Structures are given as structure tokens and as C-alpha cells.
Amino acid sequence: MKKKFLVLLLTLTMILSFSPYVAKAADTDDTDSSNKTDTIDGRTYFYDQFDNSAYRTVYKQINDAAQKFNESTSNASYQDGGYYTAFTLSVSNKDWEVIGNDGMDQIVNAVLADHPEYFWMSDSYQCKQESSGELRYTALTIECYSLYANGDTRSIYKNNFDLTVKNYAASLDESAKDYEKVYLIHNSIINKVYYTSDATSKSKDNIYAYTADGVFNSKYQSAVTYGYAKAFKAIMDYVGVPCLYIEGQNSDLLDDSMDTQKQLKEESYINNCAWNAVYLGGEWYLINLGLDDPITTTGKEALSYTYFNVTDEQASNLTAITSRLPGIPKCTGTKYCLSKVQADLEADGLWEKSSYNIIDKILDKYGLSVVLISIGLILLLVVMLIKNIHKSRSKKKKEKVKKTKTTVVDNSELDAELRKPPIS
């Protein structure tokens, strides 16, 4: 009897322990499908793509050390080679033999893509074979950008990073759907940040533009596509929307007349742009905030939706460098594209009209001088056309007058009668 009672008690305990999860699952079914993320975690997406223990082990080593350095006020160490060292760790020979140089590139890029909060971390690193007695290993040194080498300064920027992400998140309604979060943060960043044209290539003075710090730091509030994409991912990570950071090639920025660039373009190797992929309702969507914040010829602030929740096919000028990161997904989602969510956004009072019109696009593509010259030529052609039309009509009128026969009527008798005095 006692044994039966214990079995019954154990059964009831198990049922009660699972009941909250059952209730939670039932509640989830009623939520908007854009909030369903399956099992994808954007914060560890590229780590999860590694199916080799050696890759995962070294990824964890780098991430653990980076997290520790990120939380500290330690200064990065200056090296004779002209770079700063954030930290050095040991990679076992066993793991190194599996990974090699190409694998290490992928691992470092994966850590940076998964963790935009490491704004100070460079994708440059040093590897050196070392030994301690009979133990042989590879010393991996991760570099820190010189701008963030000072520990106290970096700590201030790090705290500002955390606070700014929280403030962006706090601007969202708790009941907001995932696609609404994506839309609102897309617009909020673009309305606060300027796309800088002064950072076409990395340097120690403009490196902030390639990091989320360029977006979040009030000292700058300017970035290129890399900075926009990292900042957007940081916020999406915080609000729970699966989001990836991707680097690749924007063919619109290439000059096909240059043989070198043409060849690299065909090989999809040039790295001149960054964007995001967001996961909504079981589908991936491409989004590029940097390109949706265009530099206008007139200098006006513009908001565009050209690269908001689009497919890879629609953004055919963007090609991801698949060798940099493992398992980059194809963006084929359409359910939450702009045309299908605009009505709901308008109904909820969230819609913001694009301020980037056809005139802006023409000016930005061809330049003000070219457009003015074109308008001048068009006006000149119109004037010439009007003159020709007028000339042609005048000529026809003269010819018509010449061809018209003139009949002269003798009115002398009538005039004489009219001149007679009236009969009294």
C-alpha cells in the first residue's frame, strides 16, 4: 500500500511539474507567428553551425577571453608590430591540426558576427607555434583596435553601449510583434545616425564607423554599413529577435571597367558591405540599414525601405562571402515583406512614410551637375521644338494666304448713295 502511495505521489508530482510548460505552449499558439523562432538563437547562430568539436572548443576559448576582456578595464598591450593585444590564449596542437589558418579565420569571424558587443575586437590576429617542454601548442593573439586600447575609455564606451541598447529596447511596446520591432528599430537607428562617406576604407581614426560604437556613441553617431548592421543585431539580440550579421559584396559600388574589380566581383570575394538577416515566422529576410539611410545630393535626411525585409533575389546586388562564415542562410521570406505589413503598421499608427523619392534617387545616381545639365538640355530642346512648331505654322499660314483668291467689289455707287443727305 505504501509503495502504491509513493507511485501515485510521484506521478502527481511529474504531472504538476510539466503543467506550466503545457500552459506556456498553449499560450504560445495564440501569439503572432512572427514571434515564433523555432530553435534558432541569433546570439550563437554561427557557433551552432560548427559541427566539429575543435572549432567549437576554440570558439569558446576566444569568446570566454573576449567576454572577460570586455568586462575589464585592462589596457591592451602595444606590440612592436604596431598593433595592440587584447589577449593571448593557447590552442592545442590537436585542435590546430583540424582547424588550420582557414578554419581560424572562420572562427574569429564567427565570434565577431555573433557578438557585436565586442566593438573593440579586430578581425586581425597573430598565430605562433610555441612549446613548453614536450607540450606544443599555437599561441593565438587577438588584436584590439587602437581607439579602444585604453581600458578606462573602453569601459565607458562599453557601459554606453549597454545603456543605449536598453534604451532602444525600452522604446518598444511590450506587446510589439517581432516584425514591428524590426521595423521600428530600423527606422529609429536611421533617424538618429548619419551614414558617413568619410570612411570608405578602415583606418585607426575612423574604425568606430565599422563598429556598433559608431552608432551608439553620441560622440560619433555616424557609421558605414558594417556599423549599422552590428548595432541593429545588438538590439535584436536584446529583444529576442533572431538576427545575423553578414559581410559581403555590394556590386553597385564596384567599377566594372577595372579588370581587377571585375574579376573579384565575379568571384564574389570583395568585402565592401555588411547587412543583416532576420528570422520571422520561420523565414529569413534580408535587411540593410546602411543602404536604407542614403547620402542625398541635396543633403536632406532620408529614410528608405529599399532593403527592408527583402529576399536575396530582390537584393541581387548583395552577395555574401560564404567562406567567411558557416551556414549563412538564404533569405526567401515574403510573409513579412513591407507591402504585406504596411497596412497593419498604418492601422497601429506605426507607419512612417519613406522620404527618399524618385527625385532623390535620380540626383544621387547621376549627381546634381549632370542632372542640371540634363534639365538644361531638355529645356533647350523644348524651346527649339516650340520654335520649330511656331515657324512651321507661320509658314503654312503664309502659304495659305498666298493661295487664297482675293475678289475686289466696286462699292462706288453704294458710297454715293450713302453720302446723299437724308430725305427731310
Query: Phi/psi of residue 121, each to 5°?
Result: -85, 125
Spatial separation of the C-alpha atoms in residues 390 and 384, rounded to whole Å: 10
Distances (CA, A) of 404 to 28, 362, 397, 409: 91, 53, 11, 16
In this predicted structure, which of 3-12, 155-164, 293-302, 372-381 has the lowest mean pLDDT?
Answer: 3-12
Grid coordinates belonging to 206: 575612423
Sheet holding 121-132, edge to edge: 77-78, 84-92, 135-144, 121-132
Q: What is the mean pLDDT of residues 311-333?
A: 97
Contacts of 329 (CB under 8 A, 6+ apart): 244, 277, 284
Angle at CA of residue 97, ends 94 and 98, nearest 5°: 95
- Beta strand spans in 6-78 (E): 77-78
Q: What pLDDT is stored for residue 111 in this prediction? A: 99
Q: What is the mean pLDDT of residues 127-143?
A: 88
Q: What pLDDT is stored for residue 80 in this prediction? A: 87
Q: What is the mean pLDDT of residues 288-294?
A: 95
Helix, strand, coil distribution of the chain in percent, nearest 5 = 50, 15, 35
Cα end-to-end span (Å), the chain: 154
Domains of the chain: 44-147 (no CATH), 171-369 (3.10.620)
Residue 112 burial class via C-beta count within 10 angstroms: exposed 0-12, middle 13-18, buried 19 and up: buried
Q: pLDDT tens digits for 41-80?
A: 999 999 999 999 999 999 999 999 999 999 999 999 999 8
Inform me whether the pLDDT recorded for 260 exceeds 60: no
C-beta separation of 138 from 76 below 8 A: no
For 283, the 3-state DSSP assignment is strand
- Beta strand spans in 164-250 (E): 194-195, 222-223, 243-250
Percent of the chain scored above 90 by pLDDT?
Answer: 63
Q: Please list the residues that pair with 143 across neighbouring strands.
A: 85
Grid coordinates belonging to 196: 558617413
Q: What pLDDT is stored for residue 144 in this prediction? A: 98
C-beta separation of 102 from 111 below 8 A: no
**Residue labelled with grid coordinates 516584425:** 179
Contacts of 109 (CB under 8 A, 6+ apart): 46, 123, 247, 324, 325
Helix H or strand E encompassing 318: strand 318-320
b/e code 244-254 from CB counts within 10 Å (16+ = b): bbbbbbbbeeb
Spatial separation of the C-alpha atoms in residues 316 and 311, rounded to whole Å: 9
Q: Cα dihedral sign for 411, 412, 413, 414?
A: positive
The type of residue at 377 is: L
Q: What pLDDT is stored for residue 75 in this prediction? A: 98
The more confidently predicted of residues 203 and 148 is 148
Q: What pLDDT is stored for residue 408 in this prediction? A: 59
Q: pLDDT tens digits for 234-256?
A: 999 999 999 999 999 999 988 76
Spatial separation of the C-alpha atoms in residues 292 and 284, rounded to whole Å: 18
Q: Please list the residues that pair with 85 across neighbouring strands.
A: 77, 143
Q: What is the mean pLDDT of residues 159-181?
A: 98
The more confidently predicted of residues 59 and 395 is 59
Helices (H), 135-196: 151-170, 178-192
Task: Using alpha carbons, select from 246, 304, 291 the residue that is nearest to residue 45.
Answer: 246
Q: pLDDT tens digits for 22-39?
A: 333 333 344 456 665 568
Task: Using alpha carbons, select from 274, 266, 262 the residue that is nearest to residue 325.
Answer: 274
